[in-house]
């Protein structure tokens, strides 16, 4: 491109001579040439161009990392993984703690409501007992005090014959020698 400009612009010395030694008139540089648009019918040179003047230089091989740096990199990777695992565990424990506290609060409120309901039932039961005692004292209710002469005694039922144990049935565990209840 500079060669094209040099060809289009006359030498400064010759321009000064031509214009009487004064400064150059308004000379504009030549417009750069634009390449013609590619036409599919044009032939394309696919041959690689070789430059004999320049040599290809290879990049220097990187030096191997020192052992202490490799160890530090492994420690960093391990600590990153351990940190992520610990963060996950902490979040799970925190979530479990919040869940159990909410559950405990819900159950505590329920327990308080059950206690209140129990107290109401006990009060209602005592009121009903009191009402029944007052009705029993009323002579018009038709209730009489218990009298041993008006008691009914039942005769015991006849003994049933013992059943033969089924051979195929399993034998029950022997009863313990200690009492079952107090």
Per-residue pLDDT at 80 exceeds 90 = yes
How far apart CA 112 and CA 89 sit, in angstroms, is 34
CB 25 within 8 A of CB 19: yes
How far apart CA 109 and CA 113 sit, in angstroms, is 6
Distance of CA 86 to the CA centre of its chain: 14
Match 């191997």 to its residue by tokens: 64
pTM for this model (two decimals): 0.37
Model confidence band, residue 169 (pLDDT cutoffs 50, 70, 90): low
How far apart CA 132 and CA 125 sit, in angstroms, is 11
Q: Where are the domains of the chain?
A: 68-136
Average model confidence (pLDDT) for the chain? 79
Region 165-180: what's the mean pLDDT?
65
Match 């039932």 to its residue by tokens: 121
Region 58-77: what's the mean pLDDT?
93
Per-residue pLDDT at 105 exceeds 90 = yes
Per-residue pLDDT at 24 exceeds 90 = no
How far apart CA 115 and CA 174 sit, in angstroms, is 41
Region 60-78: what's the mean pLDDT?
94
CB 9 within 8 A of CB 29: yes
Structure confidence at residue 162 (pLDDT): 84
């Amino acid at each position: 491109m500079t060669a094209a400009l040099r060809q289009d612009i006359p030498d400064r010395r010759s321009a000064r001579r031509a214009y009487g030694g004064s400064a150059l008139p308004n000379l504009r540089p030549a417009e750069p040439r634009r390449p013609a648009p590619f036409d599919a019918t044009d032939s394309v040179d696919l041959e690689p161009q070789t430059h004999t003047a320049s040599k290809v230089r290879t990049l220097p091989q990187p030096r191997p990392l020192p052992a202490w740096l490799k160890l530090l990199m492994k420690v960093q990777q391990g600590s990153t993984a351990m940190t992520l695992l610990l963060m996950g565990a902490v979040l799970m424990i925190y979530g479990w703690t919040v869940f159990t506290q909410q559950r405990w609060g819900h159950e505590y409120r329920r327990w308080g409501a059950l206690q209140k309901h129990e107290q109401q039932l006990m009060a209602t039961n005592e009121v009903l007992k009191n009402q029944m005692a007052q009705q029993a004292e009323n002579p018009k209710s038709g209730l009489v005090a218990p009298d041993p002469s008006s008691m009914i005694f039942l005769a015991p039922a006849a003994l049933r014959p013992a059943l033969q144990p089924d051979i195929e049935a399993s034998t029950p565990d022997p009863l313990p020698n200690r009492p079952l209840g107090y």
